[in-house]
Amino acid sequence: MTATTGVTAAPSASACADAFRDAYGREPEGVWIAPGRINLIGEHTDYNDGFVLPIALPHALAAAGARRADGVVRLRSRQSGEEFSARVADLVPESVPGWAAYPTGALWALAGAGVRIDGLDLMVDSTIPSGTGLSSSAALTCATVLAAAHTHGADPAPARVAALAQRAENGFVGMPCGIMDQSASMLATAGHALFMDTRSLETEQVPFDLAARGLALLVVDTRAPHRHVDGAYAERRRSCEEAARVLGVPALRDVTAEGLAAALDALPDDVSRHRVRHVVTENARVLETVGLLRAGDVRRAGALFTASHASMRDDYEITVPEVDTAVDALLAAGAHGARMTGGGFGGCVIALVADGAQESCLAAVRAAYRERGFAEPAGFTAVPAEGARRVR
């Protein structure tokens, strides 16, 4: 993630297969690739049965795998260099620390769904920077579900893989995430944004060709360390569920923009009022953005991005100074709109900019960061890439 205009490719399948051979002394049965994502708009709406609009990134994770017959799982990553090994029968929720929790959670979720897992050797290689909110963990979990399923004679549909990967995070890792990241990794297609209703799980591939409109999507990695991310995420989710209970609706999705004022009146405190206002207005912004994209008027979505950011900053309270500084600097440098993307408390900011303005916009963020003593940010131009697939 260095050049602002360059696009980082998926890892090489053959290099991943070579690393597998070197590590385990045998041939992999296959190589699977699952991409990271950015969400264009629709943040913290997925666990409220709402709407999301992510794209898959060219940055991806490759997993080379082969079945074992002895009930053992062995995992290696070209990035960490460490080996993890365990008996599949011993995998219990929240027992595996670090990155290995995601692939072992994938095996646990498959076993829970009735797929007999005899064992697995896995080598992973990734170009998705971890800890930056680009969904490296969903990519790892999805790729492992695919590798383990295919090497054990199962072939779950992409939406089913996403559901199993979410189950792994919720039930095994202990992260109460929604379904967006896994769905983006499994279901997104090149050249499109994935519009998803997370209640019905219906999806629509919405054409997203910014270059044709003289625009570009700049991604700025703020390099802000995620702070208390899991606890704060779970707390936001709990407060939404509690607000839905107080309002007597199955989920905050059921509060419409027209019903918002009455809902706010019925809530007992300012914090829950703010959380509900974010979710309800964010769902409306997703629908408006999709309408603009369908009409080919993507530039006007910029204002919705910026409004989404203000809502995350002021109502949902999930931004941090590095993120807000980046958004302000991008807007001052002429971006049509900018917002934090992903779960929050750090991570990446996206900006809709004139094609060719990426360098000057990133330079504006760099200058603002220098002034405040923040770490040097990085950036790249995002184009919507293809979803998960078997490549060998």
- Known catalytic residues are 181
Distance CA 102, CA 122 (A): 12
Which of residues 226 and 366 has its CB atom nearest to ligand GAF in the complex?
226
Residue among 44 and 192 whose Cβ is closer to ligand GAF: 44
| Amino acid of residue 181 | D
Chain centroid, CA 88 distance in Å: 27
CA distance linking residue 220 with residue 333, whole number of Å: 14
- Give, as ranges, the residues between 256 and 275 that touch ligand GAF (CB under 6 A): none
Name which of 65 and 343 has its Cβ closer to ligand GAF.
Answer: 343
Using rule CB under 6 A, residue 57 touches ligand GAF: no
x-marked contacts with ligand GAF along 95-134 as a string, rule CB under 6 A? ----------------------------------------
* Phi, psi (deg, nearest 5) at residue 35: -85, 160
Q: What is the DSSP letter of 214?
A: T
- Of the candidate spans 1-9, 39-47, 285-293, 365-373, the one that interacts with ligand GAF by CB under 6 A turns out to be 39-47
Q: SS3 of 177, please?
A: coil
- Type of residue found at 66: A
Closer of 279 and 378 to ligand GAF (Cβ): 279
What would you report as the CA-atom Rg of the chain, rounded to the nearest whole angstrom? 21
Q: Measured between alpha carbons, how far is 167 from 265 in angstroms, rounded to an integer?
A: 35
Helix (H, G, I), strand (E, B) or coil at 27: coil
Output 66 or 101, the one with its CB closest to ligand GAF: 101
288-327 footprint of ligand GAF as x/- string (CB under 6 A): ----------------------------------------
46 sits near ligand GAF (criterion: CB under 6 A)? yes
Q: Which stretch binds ligand GAF (CB under 6 A): 19-27, 172-180, 259-267, 373-381?
A: 172-180
Query: Is 47 among the residues that bind ligand GAF (CB under 6 A)?
Result: yes
Q: Structure tokens of 315?
A: 């109502």
Instruction: List the one residue from 31, 40, 41, 44 that touches ligand GAF (CB under 6 A).
Output: 44
Q: How far is the CB of 74 from ligand GAF (least distance, A)?
A: 27
With a CB cutoff of 8 Å and minimum separation 6, the contacts of 247 are 255, 263, 266, 267, 276
Q: Between residues 84 and 316, which has the closer beta carbon with respect to ligand GAF?
A: 316
Q: Which two tokens stand for residue 139?
A: 């990519």
Which residue, chain included where needed, has tokens 């407060």? 239
- Can you tell me whether residue 245 is helix, strand or coil? helix
Closest CA to 110 of 173, 50, 160, 185: 160
| Nearest-approach distance from CB 258 to ligand GAF, in angstroms | 24
Residue 177 is a binding residue for ligand GAF (CB under 6 A): yes
Binding residues for ligand GAF (CB under 6 A): 39, 43-44, 46-47, 177-178, 180-181, 342-343
